[in-house]
Amino acid sequence: MMLKKVVVCGVGLIGGSFALALKAAGAVGEVVGLGRTQASLAAAQQRGVIDRIASDWADALHDADLVFLAMPVGQVASVLVSMAPYLSSTTVITDGGSTKVDVALAARQALGAQCAQFVPGHPIAGAEKSGVAAARADLFYQKRVVLTPLAENTEAHIALVEHVWQACGAEVSRLDAEDHDRVFAAVSHLPHFLAFALVHEFAQRADSAQLFGFAAGGFRDFTRIASSHPEMWRDICLANRSALLVELDAYMVELMRARVLLAGADAEGLQAMFDTARTRRDAWLDGLTPPGE
Amino acid sequence: MMLKKVVVCGVGLIGGSFALALKAAGAVGEVVGLGRTQASLAAAQQRGVIDRIASDWADALHDADLVFLAMPVGQVASVLVSMAPYLSSTTVITDGGSTKVDVALAARQALGAQCAQFVPGHPIAGAEKSGVAAARADLFYQKRVVLTPLAENTEAHIALVEHVWQACGAEVSRLDAEDHDRVFAAVSHLPHFLAFALVHEFAQRADSAQLFGFAAGGFRDFTRIASSHPEMWRDICLANRSALLVELDAYMVELMRARVLLAGADAEGLQAMFDTARTRRDAWLDGLTPPGE
């Protein structure tokens, strides 16, 4: 597979790594960049992440094989509206957003029948670092990418996006958009929300300096994701609000249940809870064979 | 500093690493082990972590310079009662428990006036792995050890324990026991409790397999401490119950506050919360120069 021209809109960690991975795989002729911030695009060009900066959507989409949207999900709708007038019938679009129901809705509204060319996706890879400086060609290597195809997509469109991600070294799977948003509300969006909340609570307190003075490795790992990109996570929380609220409420119920054990000094109950958690987590880790091995 | 004989009671990750560190530093003549499980002691002896297994407390304490108690904090009181009759006036005792108010109380009750020889301590190092197989000589290297001396301790006793930990490569500081338990309830015990609760909640659900099937790096780091030793953490939660309840309640208030932002789709409020958290955490990481550098 060889794409002559790929457009990356939003050349940060995800968009930049996608461009670098395709280049490393020899799967692309030219990568053209677009984005909000000229300085970021210039930096991306200087690093060789993109070959050139598009002057506008007309320029970007001319003869493009593929467009990758890699901006915070809150911007996807307006970007699709901007590009729609210049979209030919031969360009395929995909995205890297962490929520998929809202992206599918935005695609249908902005593109109409051309939404058949849009195959929503979500690479399960990232880092608490953001920006093109953090981009690397192996970010998606042996990581999962979940596609949530629209009913309108043809198998050829889906297969193209699948192959592109495989060229980046990723393991591709498919999920219904609603299932995707429910699952990731639990395993990703909730932990981010919880970690942000803990650090925020500590940051507000009168004894904040003392707390951070004694915080160590456990705290560091638990809160790693609280160093994630605030705007990106604001958009994810808003876009997946209803599913996240369900998960947050379930977790608060669990905390109240656990609080009853603690307040009642229920040694057996606490140990059973901790045992179940450790056993389940260790079984999960044992089963985590990197794709392809 | 050279100790002729050190007794380690509880030769697991912490006790075993302490023994290995003292040996690596050439700071000890003989290390004698005691514990609940003969198989663990035999494994520790075979690895060279301890030189021999004590037959009983009389044997262990004979001519001992230092005793290190490294079992779950729930056992410290009964162990002190068992050893008290054989304790000479020249043996210094310390411990590695994660809670300090309960340990101080147990020392006063079991040792009476001889509690002056007991200097409570807490090495801020660990791993989600437990057992002597995970022990290593550099576990405490450039890590903090907090001593919470009793009013009865002499400066000489405290200095001895301080020097022993420095020989292990640790950075030693002192804190009041109540302050210690309050601070660690927040920065350590609460995150463990929260991580155990999240994995436990997922483990109980009908869609558990699907959730774990899509869990990735963020979840893995957030829940790393949910693979910690269940019995040890049961004891810590029980021993520090009142301080932990205060922290848990403060966190649940924070979650309710954050839930209001989420349910109300308060973009500005969410972003401000995330920004504050990321900025504070990054400032903390920037300030984390390893001691001695």
Between CA A216 and CA A56 the distance in angstroms is 48
Percent of chain B with pLDDT over 90: 94
Between CA A139 and CA A13 the distance in angstroms is 9
In the block, which residue shows the tokens 């520790």?
Answer: B44
On the question of pLDDT at A107 being above 80, the answer is yes
Domain boundary among A175, A192, A218: A175
Is A259's CB within 8 Å of B267's CB?
no
A155 and A36 together in one domain: yes
So what's the pLDDT on residue A126? 73
B40 and B167 together in one domain: yes
Percent of chain B with pLDDT over 70: 97
Q: Which residue in A187, A233, A258 is closest to B197 by CB distance?
A: A258
B49 and B82 together in one domain: yes
On the question of pLDDT at A130 being above 90, the answer is no
Q: What is the CATH number of the domain that holds A184?
A: 1.10.3660.10
Is B143's CB within 8 Å of A216's CB?
yes
So what's the pLDDT on residue B129? 77
Is A218's CB within 8 Å of B271's CB?
no
Closest CA–CA distance from residue B142 to any residue of chain A (Å):
12
Output the DSSP codes for A42-107: HHHHHTTSSSEE-SSHHHHHTT-SEEEE-S-GGGHHHHHHHHGGG--TT-EEEE--S--HHHHHHH
A118 and A63 together in one domain: yes
Characterize the bridge pairing of strands A92-95 and B52-53.
unpaired
B166 and B185 together in one domain: no
Is A281's CB within 8 Å of B183's CB?
no
Q: What is the mean pLDDT of residues A12-26?
A: 97
A61 and A166 together in one domain: yes
- Long-range CB contacts (within 8 A, 24+) of B85-91: B85/B57, B86/B57, B86/B58, B86/B60, B86/B61, B86/B62, B87/B61, B87/B111, B87/B114, B87/B117, B88/B61, B89/B114, B89/B117, B90/B65, B91/B61, B91/B64, B91/B65, B91/B66, B91/B67, B91/B117
Show residues of chain B in contact with A265, CB under 8 Å: 238, 241
Strand, coil or helix: B164: helix
Between CA A62 and CA A163 the distance in angstroms is 22
Torsion of Cα atoms, A193 then A198 then A203 then A208, to 10°: -170
Show residues of chain A in contact with B191, CB under 8 Å: 198, 218-219, 222-223
Is A227's CB within 8 Å of B285's CB?
yes
Q: At what angle do helices B177-184 and B241-263 cross, to 10 degrees?
A: 30
A156 and A186 together in one domain: no
Is B259's CB within 8 Å of A245's CB?
yes
Average pLDDT, rounded, for chain B:
95
Q: What is the CATH number of the domain that holds B130?
A: 3.40.50.720
Range of the domain at B258: 179-287
A168 and A268 together in one domain: no
Is A238's CB within 8 Å of B267's CB?
yes
Is A251's CB within 8 Å of B201's CB?
yes
Q: Residues, chain A, total? A: 293
On the question of pLDDT at B290 being above 60, the answer is no
Is A200's CB within 8 Å of B227's CB?
no
**Residue B189 banded pLDDT, cuts 50, 70, 90:** very high
How far lies A245's CA from each of A117, B215, B265, in Å? 32, 19, 11
So what's the pLDDT on residue A293? 35
Is B245's CB within 8 Å of A259's CB?
yes
Show residues of chain A in contact with B130, CB under 8 Å: none
On the question of pLDDT at B274 being above 90, the answer is yes
Structure tokens at B8: 């380690």
Q: What is the pLDDT of residues A151-200, one digit of tens each?
A: 999 999 999 999 999 999 999 999 999 999 999 999 999 999 999 999 99
Of the residues A173, A187, A251, A271, the best mutation for testing chain B's interface (the one with the most B CB atoms within 10 Å of its CB) is A187
Domain boundary among B149, B175, B201: B175
Q: Which residue in A241, A274, A282 is closest to B265 by CB distance?
A: A241
CB burial of A77-114 (b: ≥16 within 10 Å; e: otherwise) equals bebbeebbeebeeebbbbbbbbbbbbbbebbbebbeeb
How big is chain A by its Cα radius of gyration, in Å?
A: 21
| Closest to A197 (Cα-Cα) out of B193, B270, B243 | B270
DSSP type of residue B131: S
Q: Which residue in A144, A203, A234 is closest to B271 by CB distance?
A: A234
**Residue A289 banded pLDDT, cuts 50, 70, 90:** low
Q: Which residue in A225, A262, A278 is closest to B241 by CB distance?
A: A262
A107 and A146 together in one domain: yes
Chains A and B: how many Cβ contacts under 8 Å?
270
Q: Which amino acid is at B87?
A: L
Average pLDDT, rounded, for chain A:
95
ipTM of predicted complex: 0.89
Q: What is the pLDDT of residues A243-254, one digit of tens each?
A: 999 999 999 999
From start to end of chain B, where are the E strands?
3-9, 28-34, 52-53, 66-69, 92-95, 118-119, 121-123, 144-147, 171-174
Q: Which residue in B195, B251, B259 is closest to A201 by CB distance?
A: B251
Q: Which residue of B has its CA nearest to A280?
A: B203
So what's the pLDDT on residue B62? 97
So what's the pLDDT on residue B289? 57
